[in-house]
Amino acid sequence: MRNEDVFEAVAEALRRGEPAALVTIIRAQGSTPQRVGAKMLVFPDGRIVGTIGGGCYENEAFWKARNAIETRQPVIAKYELADDIAEDSGLICGGQMEVYIEPLEPAPALYLVGAGHVSYHLAQAAHTVGFKLHVIDDREKFANTERFPDAEEIVVDAIPEWLTQAELPAHAFAVILTRGHRHDLDALRALAPKELRYLGLIGSRAKVARIYEALEAEGITPEQLRKVHAPVGLDLGAVTPQEIAVSILAEMIGVKYGKVDASGTSTTEGSAQSLRWTPGNAAKATVGE
């Protein structure tokens, strides 16, 4: 298969919003079944486009690629195509080969649940760094193209019903920024069971605790709630809607690149510092969402 076919598959995967990993031969010495530049695209479900030569070393590279999709970390793999590999794979070769395995991530989808002041500013900032915007609110006065001109999708509907039925991709980001406690509770009830890359909830720690208590009484598990970034955003001392939007976007970027975990803690080597804002920053709970 030609590399052009692989490139076309890469472009189509990114258009669909589907993650994958690109495997490329970056060094070949001696007798090898493929030359430098040969490519193979691997998808999370096991589909393959292209080849780096077949055999057991391609199979090993395939599994490394599947793992790279999960870890989102690139890998260089080295192979000695010795007699035992050649015999196992039916290949006549005796060279060395290195492959670069690169995880490919599409522009992440960001679902803004609630279209109030913080959502407005978060949408503007998130769009500039590549997030694809989806806005959901039951008020057309707030959820409209005039306020969100860059949104891929604007939904004016009952929030909990729409969220329950929607099939959000597993790599999506979602932030609950509705106008009140009841709406936040309903939205989190719908989203907590879903597999998402990031799920955030605005509000004070006291509000979050009340919502968690109510949802656990309904059967939402502690494990499902532990993955929620709540209160949402990094502890930057933010007060205004614009600043709060920056703190949320900073946390999402940290999650995207593996620098912030689900507890809001930095994963940087040598650091265990919590970056999430504290309940003393009361403006975040009362900013008008």
DSSP-assigned states of every residue in 265-283:
BB-STT---B-B--TT-TH
Residue 219 region, left (φ>0) first, then alpha (ψ -120 to 50), else beta? left
- Res 276 pLDDT > 90: no
Nearest to 284 by CA among 250, 251, 239, 246: 239
Q: How far apart are CA 160 and CA 157, in angstroms?
A: 9
Specify the pLDDT at position 283: 36
The 10s digit of each residue's pLDDT in 43-57 is: 999 999 999 987 778
In percent, the amount of the chain with pLDDT more than 90 equals 69
Q: 121-138 in b/e burial notation, b at 16+ Cβ within 10 A?
A: bbbbebbeeebbbbbbbb
Model confidence at 127, pLDDT cuts 50, 70, 90, reads very high
- Res 279 pLDDT > 50: no
The 10s digit of each residue's pLDDT in 70-111 is: 888 999 999 887 644 445 545 445 678 899 999 998 889 999
Within 8 A by CB and 6+ apart from 184, the residues are 176, 178, 201, 202, 203, 207, 211
Q: How far apart are CA 108 and CA 111, in angstroms?
A: 10
Q: How far apart are CA 143 and CA 275, in angstroms?
A: 31
Give the three-state DSSP class for 130: coil
Nearest to 197 by CA among 177, 173, 175, 176: 173
Specify the pLDDT at position 143: 98
User: In terms of CATH architecture, what is 109-286?
Assistant: 3-Layer(aba) Sandwich (3.40)
- Res 128 pLDDT > 90: yes
On whether the CB atoms of residues 68 and 21 are closer than 8 A, the answer is yes
Q: How far apart are CA 120 and CA 56, in angstroms?
A: 52
Q: How far apart are CA 252 and CA 18, in angstroms?
A: 19
In percent, the amount of the chain with pLDDT more than 70 equals 85
- pLDDT (mean) for 39-68: 92
Averaged pLDDT of the chain: 87
The 10s digit of each residue's pLDDT in 153-209 is: 999 999 999 999 999 988 899 999 999 999 999 999 999 999 999 999 999 999 999
Specify the pLDDT at position 259: 85
Specify the pLDDT at position 270: 42
Domain ranges of the chain: 3-104, 109-286
The 10s digit of each residue's pLDDT in 11-22 is: 999 888 888 999
